[in-house]
Amino acid sequence: MQDALTTWPKFRSQHPRILLLTSQYFLIGELEAACKRLGVEHLFLDLGTKEMDLDTFVTQMTDVLTTFKPDFVLTVNHLGVDREGILAQLLNRYDVPLASWFVDNPHLILNAYQHLFEARTALFTWDADTIDSLGRMGFKHVFHLPLGADPSRLTPRRTVPVDVWRAPISFVGNSMLTKTVKRLEAARPTERLLQNGITMAREFSDSGEPLAEAFLYKNHPELVPEFEALLHPARKQAYLTFITWQATLLYRLDCVARILPFAPLIVGDPGWQSLLKDADGWRYHPELSYYDDLPDFYPLSKINFNCTSQQMKGAVNQRVFDVPTCNAFLLTDHRKQMEDLFEPETEIVFYRHPDAIPGLIERYLHDDVARQRVAAAARKRVLAQHTYDHRMTSLMESMRQTFG
């Protein structure tokens, strides 16, 4: 039984008090801004990026919890939660629920954490396909919460357009080349796992299986003993992430190859220069600032092209919300969950297979009216249902219903 001196009543006010744990992920800023607009009392706790000794961490967290007295703690992708479970034990002591919103594959993150069930936890996942699998892991409270947009942040900064950004079609995204190499270095797989991993990545990309681990166990049982022999959870996680990101690399490269005849502008990491070094007719631009550049960039392309990461085979990514919010047109790959968010053809235009990409580009590249009509309808839908104010309202209500 909890000590009355170390706990306090929860969810007694109209709006909950929320402790936001800092992270390097951009989304925490959107959530803080949404709290301000909604009139929600919140505290933004910056734990910093440096290692912190145990006593300092416990003292700081104890002071914040007992002084601010939150109704729950909110983090994104479990960032700010230590992997050893110290925070979970503190939250359990003070009977403070934890809300963790995953906007990347939770299975590529959670396996590295201990004491996952120490605190009362609700998981929010941007991908409905992961709800059942998280339940099988033992999480009792799992909710679907898609991404969204913050129209107040996605606003133009410039009065004069940047002419070099103009393009008939553009793609903004990571090549995944460096990321894939780094995951291999972290996994330190055997030569057999390495060679088969490259093959598996292509098979995984073509499969309907949303999780690399399930795909490995089901389709390559002969490799399971070597995978299990990696022993350390971090190495296993790195290997599964390698398969997922290598699958994304191959998929994106195939999709981007279909837009090359249309003189695209590709914005991202230098990996694109290596992957497309023998291709003609495209331009490269280094990565742009999410807040300072992209709101001005998107409207300068007739078509903004999108091909989603293979870590999310059913969910939609951030660009599906951001591009129309910036009054621009998007051509994206089909994801089964998008039809619950947007009306096909009217509010969103998608291809189900890369072979359909050139035809859709031909159709919309020369139809200004159609592009403007779809972009306007999509923006109207985002403003009505898919802002981060909507997402925070939904999250708070789920926490109240679950732990109130």
- Annotate 235-267 with three-state secondary structure: HHHHHHHHHHHHHHHHHHHHHHHHHHHHCCEEE
Q: Which fold has domain 163-182+251-386?
A: Rossmann fold (3.40.50)
The highest-level CATH class for domain 4-148+389-403 is alpha beta
Among the ranges given (47-51, 187-191, 221-225, 249-253), the one the predictor scored with the smallest mean pLDDT: 47-51
The most confident of 80-84, 312-316, 342-346, by mean pLDDT: 342-346
Nearest CA to 210 among 107, 138, 319, 141?
Answer: 107
Listed in order, the ranges of the chain carrying CATH 3.40.50.2000 are: 163-182+251-386
Listed in order, the ranges of the chain carrying CATH 3.40.50.2300 are: 4-148+389-403
Location of structure tokens 């053809």:
345
Helix H segments across 108-190? 131-137, 177-187
The whole-number pLDDT of residue 48 equals: 66
Q: Which residues contact 27 (CB under 8 A, 6 or more apart)?
A: 76, 101, 103
CA angle 67, 70, 74 (to 5 degrees): 130
Distance CA 289, CA 277 (A): 25
Q: Which amino acid is at 311?
A: Q
Location of structure tokens 């359990």:
92
Nearest CA to 40 among 328, 397, 286?
Answer: 397
* Two tokens, residue 75: 């983090």
Query: For the purposes of burial, counting CB atoms within 10 Å of the CB of 227, is it exposed (0-12), middle (13-18) or buried (19 or more)?
Result: buried
Q: Residue 90 above 80 pLDDT?
A: yes
Rounded mean pLDDT of 318-344? 97
Label the pairing between strands 98-102 and 121-125.
parallel
Query: Distance between the two ends of the chain, CA-based, in angstroms?
Result: 17
Rounded mean pLDDT of 44-59? 79
| Residue 232 DSSP code | S
Element at 125 (helix H, strand E): strand 121-125
Q: Residue 4 above 50 pLDDT?
A: no
The whole-number pLDDT of residue 1 equals: 41
Rounded mean pLDDT of 184-197? 95
Nearest CA to 386 among 316, 328, 330?
Answer: 316
The whole-number pLDDT of residue 23 equals: 60
Share of the chain above pLDDT 90, in %: 83
